[in-house]
Structure 1
Amino acid sequence: MAKAEAAEAAAPAGGGKKKLIMILVIVVLLVAVGGGAALMLLKKKPKADEDGEEAVDDHAPQVEVAKAKPGTPPVYMPLEPFTVNLTDQDVDRYAQIGISLEVVDQKTADTLKGYLPSVRSGVLMVLSRKSAADLLSSEGKERLQKEIQREAVRPLGYEVDLDEASEEDTDTAKKKKKKKKKAPLALPVSNVHFSQFIVQ
């Protein structure tokens, strides 16, 4: 009888050792997987260049224009002219602006035509937030081109961040240059051209 009791007492102890070993194996595997994931995340962190000023972030896209094939003429997609009231408070002013989008190929132009109401709405929203002073300077026109390009590609799933650094705050602009550079993203709308630009 003493042998039977000893065997019964030993059986659960042996089963407990197996459970303990399995738990340890699972814990070791979880630690290994977590460590591997942490290592991959650390590898993807931006590395500073030799000057220590700029870094590259692989996850955040930067605007880069897609190039058409060499020897092929550019494809232009004219939009109907826009007439909008401007935000000037002292006097009622408006702008009439004709725009043509330069796209990388005819296939992109055909795709973009399906999103034309969204593109026009976005451009109208941009124009309606402008004052005459915003539109009359050459810097204002260049800024407007970038904003229109952003609105033209947004319906296709591209999100473009415009540089928000002001000319007056050069210290802030220098600090922003030291921030991360973003990996380039090729945009299907390569340029925005004005065919008409009247501010009255």
Structure 2
Amino acid sequence: MAEEVQEEKKSGGGKGLIIALLVVVILLIVGIGVMTFLLLSSGGSDNNANSSETEQHASAEHGDEATAHDDGVVRDYSPKFKQYDPPEPGSAPQYFAMEPFVVNFKGEGQAKFLAVNMKFMSHYPQLIADMENYRPILRNDITSLLRIQTYTDLNQDNGPDVLREKVLAKARKVLEKHNIYPDLLEDVYFERFVMQ
């Protein structure tokens, strides 16, 4: 009788282990499926995508359609943003120069000061003129961004380029907050970049 009870316990314990393993395997399969779906639906655009796909992605971020012509300049965009006269095809870009930035930054014992001169670029002269109204906000936000940079990050081969992207994103957020279509601000260039 004691032997039968032990046999039942052994076989019952094996069934419980098999069920537990099956549940774990099913949960893993479901988890992998969900991760795959999220990765494929959120990321997925190639670096080699053409400019029209890039413009469609940019307009999707802002919730409305924007169209760019062959030269890559946005000429039509959502009416919920301030409207500017479209630039003439082939017109030269305009530049908005900021006063030089000199800030203390996280030099990590290597450098203590970061000096940067920059100019923003757009094909819209009216936007360049309007940016003067937002100069104090831009200066404040960019100064805050520069102060949190680290020597290690900036000293990389692509460090200044990564910083340019961050500055451009920061400036676009300021414009968008003030009802200006952010992608009209096309780029930012560093004229001087010194760490001391």
Q: Which residue of 2 aligns with 1:196?
A: 192
Counterpart of 1:157?
A: 176
Q: Is residue 2:68 matched to residue 1:72?
A: no
User: Which gives a bigger RCO, structure 1 or 2 (Cα 8 Å, sep 6+)?
Assistant: 1
1:34-58 superposed Cα distances (whole Å, 9 cap, x missing partner): xxxxxxxxxxxxxx9xx98849988
Match of 2:149 among 107, 126, 130: 130
CA distance in 1, matches of 2:164, 2:98: 14
What are the superposed Cα offsets for residues 119-142 of structure 1, whole Å, 9 maximum, x if unpaired?
111111110001122222232212
User: Root-mean-square deviation (CA), in Å?
Assistant: 3.3
Q: Decide whether aligned partners of structure 1 residues 143 and 152 sit closer, same or farther in structure 2, where only a CA change above 3 A counts.
A: same
Structure with bigger gyration radius: 1
Asked if 2 retains the 8 angstrom alpha-carbon contact of 1:85 and 1:93, the reply is yes
1:187 aligns with 2:183: yes
Question: In 1, Cα distance between the equivalents of 2:99 and 2:169?
Answer: 18
Taking the aligned partners of 1:88 and 1:77, their CA distance within structure 2 comes to: 29
SS at match of 1:115: helix
Deviation at 1:189, TM superposition (A): 1.2
Q: Residue in 1 aligned with 2:166?
A: 147
Larger strand share, 1 or 2:
1
Contact kept? 1:85, 1:92, Cα under 8 Å? no
Structure 2: gaps spanning 5 or more residues: 1-36, 46-55, 75-86
Question: TM-score w.r.t. structure 1 length?
Answer: 0.53
Unaligned runs of 5+ in 1: 1-47, 160-184
Change (3 A) 1:138 1:104: farther
Aligned residues: 125
Residue identity (%)? 18
